[in-house]
Every structure is written in C-alpha cells, then in structure tokens.
Amino acid sequence: MKVNVLAFGIAKDIFGGSSVEVELPEQGTTQNLKQSLEERYPRLKHLVSYMVAVNNEYASDESLLTERDEVAIIPPVSGG
C-alpha cells in the first residue's frame, strides 16, 4: 500500500518537500514506516528523536497504518 506522509520542521528539509509517498506492506506499522524512511533519508537518524502521528495523534511503533490514515513525521517540537 502507498502511505502519504506529511513533513514538518526539519523533516520537511530532510525530505525536500512537505510530503513524501512511502510504499509499505499491507498491515504495515509505524515502525515499518520509520525503517523505510530512515533508509531513504539517513539524516532522520541524526535527529534527537522523532515521532509519527496518525490522524492527529501520537502513534506507538506498533500502530497499524492504512492508506486512508493521515500520517505525519513529528521532529522534536520547539513551540512556545
């Protein structure tokens, strides 16, 4: 399946755009998504940390993804 991944902050610089498409196996998880992105964009691994949000909520590594989900990469936040 194809998952569209939104990018913010430094992730946008790393991906070279505000979203990327990632091909994942059916029943793919957040963890699979991270692995796939880190292979394609090794600079992701240099961040202090980053999270994945699914449908506007922080998601655990085990969360299952579907093509209909709104998925986003959340680098370390720095608002306020």
Partner 1 sequence: MNNQIKISDQPLNIQSCIDWVMTPQSGGINIFIGTVRNATKGKIVMRLEFEAYEAMALKEMHKIAEKAFSKWPVQKLLIHHRIGVLKVGEVPVIIGVSCAHRDAAFEACRYIIDTLKETVPIWKKEIFEDGEVWVAAHP
Residues that bind partner 1 (CB under 8 A): 6, 8-10, 13, 46-48, 53, 56-58, 72, 74-80
Choose between 10 and 22: whose C-beta lies nearer to partner 1: 10
By the 10 Å C-beta count (0-12 exposed, 13-18 middle, 19+ buried), 11 is classed as buried
Q: Supply the minimum distance, in Å, between the C-beta of residue 5 and partner 1.
A: 12
Q: Supply the minimum distance, in Å, between the C-beta of residue 44 and partner 1.
A: 11
Cross-strand bridge partners of residue 10:
none
Q: Tell me how far apart the alpha carbons of residues 29 and 12 are, in angstroms, rounded to a whole number.
A: 22
